[in-house]
Chains A and B, each alone.
Chain A
Amino acid sequence: MDLFDYSLFISAIRMVSPILLAALGGALCARVGIFNVGLEGLILAGAFSAIVGNHYSGSVFVAVLSGAAGAVLVSLLFGIVTIKFKANAIVAGIAVNFLVLGLTTFLLRALFDVKGAYYDKNMEGLPKWDIPLIEHIPVIGKLISGHSPLVYIAFLAAILLYVYLYRTVAGFRLLAVGKNLSASKSMGLKVTAIQYGAVLMSGVLCGLAGAQLSLGQVTMFTEGMTAGRGFIALVAMMLGQSHPIGILGSSMLFGLMDALSVRLQGFSVPTQFTAMLPYLITIIAMFFLKDKGSDSQLSGQQSTR
């Protein structure tokens, strides 16, 4: 077995999409001054509600929608607490993670009467889209074609978010809110609505990330199946400086490492070190980056009480 081959990159692309989607969601929040540590919980909520939707409707489309809806509900709660009630976003994010972990496991028991994981072979997973023409190109075809729609949506979302932030008026205003809240208020921008919009949109993106997790490869839900992906996404967001294209890059890097660490298990290299890489790279990058995470109002100093 080779260390690098097509299947490595194919699995990397597959692993990128949940991280990328969630990191974009996190970036939206960061851009309006809310540091969203609750991505993990939001993805988990999305993964679970997608399975619930699938179970009750039997339609993948409805499943994806319900995945998004579930995460949006949680993000709404997060938004109300942080925006309306001025809670510390970090604390609220941690609480959301706890809440969703407990709630999904609890509901797994309540709804499906199972513990640990829910799997039903009758459930349909996400389709694989073969892209005409491209699929026949030798190397690239294998790489680009044949993924679930959510993989394509993830990449599209990064580009759309870039256009939104840097080309549209609404995106410009969103950036303004994150850069200077009181100035935005004084200019009559609807600051609260913009913040809610960003938080809810991050719910949608995380919901899609969750749906990709629970419907993408094997159609099943496992307790805590996000396994830290929300935090990896958060790290990807930091490394990408909350810039859509930067996040695209960092997510791909982390996806590759994720795939690599799975591959390396066959090579008796301690996987702990490959798993460590995203965090180490991000820490090292922070020494050089201009924005050291102190952008906008997410500074932790003085805000613990």
Chain B
Amino acid sequence: MPYDFEQIVERIDQQKFWTFPGGVHPQGRKHLSNQTAINTLALPKQLVIPVKQHIGTAGACLVSVGDKVLKGQTLTSSPHPFSVPVHAPTSGLVTAIEERTTAHPSGLPELCVVIEADGNDTWTELKLIADYQQETKSSLISAICEAGIAGMGGAGFPTHIKSTARKKVEFLIINGVECEPYITADDRLMREFAWQIRQGIDILSHLIEPKVVIIAIEDNKPEAFKAMQQVCNDTPAIRVVQIPTKYPAGGEKQLIQVLTGREVPRTGLPADIGVMMFNVGTCYAIADAILHGKPLIQRVVTVTGEAVQKPQNVWALIGTPIEHLLSQAQYQLKKQKAPTVIMGGPMMGFTLPSVDVPVVKITNCLLIPAKKELNLSQRELACIRCSACADACPVSLLPQQMYWHSKALELDKAEEYNLFDCIECGACAYVCPSEIPLVHYYRKAKAQIRIQRDDKDKAEKSKQRFEARKARLEKEKQEREAKHKKAAAARKQATQPATGEDGGAKDKVAAALARAKAKKAEQAQATENSASAETQPEDNKARVAAAIARAKAKKAQQAEAPATDSQGSAEDERKAKVAAAVARAKAKKAAQQTEPDDTANASDSAHAESAEDARKAKVAAAVARAKAKKVAASGAPTESSAETDDDSEGREAQRKAKIAAAVAKAKAKKQAAEQAEGEPEVTEHKPVEPALEEDSPEAQRKAKIAAAVAKAKAKKQAAEQAESGPQATEDVPAEPAQEEDSPEAQRKAKIAAAVARAKAKKAQREARQSGSEDNEQS
């Protein structure tokens, strides 16, 4: 900000002002109407009240056709903050709520409440706030809103919104400039109702708390200036100043510039530079609303022009058809070239489409010019680029460039020349020697740009929708393709497991290696088994290898499990399981010497669901049986010597043999049951749970429990066998044998199984004696 508060106030006190660029000096012609006091109109028969007379949103109608309304009764309400209500200007009957042509340049019909006056003019109950200083600000503001007050200078901005601004206000400017030619409504109001305007200013000061109040009046209204000075000379905080007459000094931005030298940022509000401005008419209405409780239902309207016999100012009820005002001022049609009524002044006013149009809150003037009073003929000539428009522009635009581009519909260029900073004051068109209706071109261009923006927004939204859809489809497609790829890769791997290409290949190779080693170990064992000699190191190696293989297989399984999806996973899982199972089976085979490991393997094998696995398990079972037999065989001599020798070694061996036998039997039975009944899950799960935790030192204890269980089972089986005879006993190995590949192996297995059974039986019998002891021990 170029000047601070003190400097500005000092300048104002010295009656020194800034100026705005450009500006014009049209003939004021204010004497036509400012010589007589404001008249009161006869009550019109019918009033038409548009529901929206301000900038913002319209309220919903509170009345319906046929309702009787009282003067001052609220007709609309809205929860929206950017809305002010309208009120019944007199008492009467609502005869229609319909669309009527209203005072708008577009001439488009708007929703109106039509009231037939009953002539009584009966007021509704008025709620006034006598001592406003005791009231909270919010209640005052809501009272201002309830009174339907919107800026009466022309824009119709809801006053309550302006006065609730949070920003610190240095200057409260009261606009009594009235720079438009012909209009004298504010002039007369200031002359006759200065005190009530002062009251309104006091209320606003109370609400806004400015550092200083400036009442600005153009120097062509000395009477109004004196009147305002008189009512404000008791308060030093209020300064009444006369500013040089120049159109459009009364524009909000221009007046701020004249008084403070500050410029409202183009995207900001006056409050951003510490200024707030209200029209004198608004101040009057605020005082009416707060101190008298009267809503905004009437205003001063200048009816002027040489085509009326008696130009004057009148108090017009909102909603009064202008025909009523014209007849009051004695309109003379014959004095006009063509019937024309301008609402507003000659610079910014607009022509009305009909005389039925009602007076609204922003109507300050009706101008009815005679034939040659205004230069209304608009024969547009070519622009000679004289730049008179640029020299007249109060916002330093280049009107001819804007005109050029607007006319050529180069709207982006027009915008580049700051079309939207145009305040449509009309100064450019006023001075144009070619009589080009420049403002009209700008309005058209602005409207077209707004339409384009709307269209662009719409297009943008649909584009976004389309893009989103495209992206979604693309994503889906990619996902599908990825799945297919994975599935294909999985298939490839399935057919060539050794030459797998992905990360799991190493693991698989390792697993295969481990398998090979395990096999080798197994083979070594098998040969050793027949010799009933056990080589510990070999066994250990095999076990380690198996464990590694297991771990690797598991890892591979885990690694692949999350990465794969529904299609690929089944196969991968299966493969991993197969590998794991194979590894397990091998490991099991290698580890059968020690009982805990055996049970652990048994439990692991629970996961094996494939036929192959089952077969291997059977093989393992057979091997186990064979071993058990061996143990039993070796146990038998020790058994006899156990009686003679001591228990330690003999018992141990015996117990081991028993356990092994029991486990083997249990497995065999299980297999049989699985084959016969086809419900492996149930039977298999039993050993699973305890076995899963089998890696701890507790393993032995648990193994004992398992052995006990196995023994119990074996007992039961033995009992069954005893009953069912040889046929039943043969059944058990017969079925797994069916699946043995080689007939030799089958035969061997059968023999082994038979032998094992026999030995096991024997062992069981012996075990029966020590069973109770074992149970107690464990």
A, B co-complexed: no
Residues of B within 8 A of A (CB): none
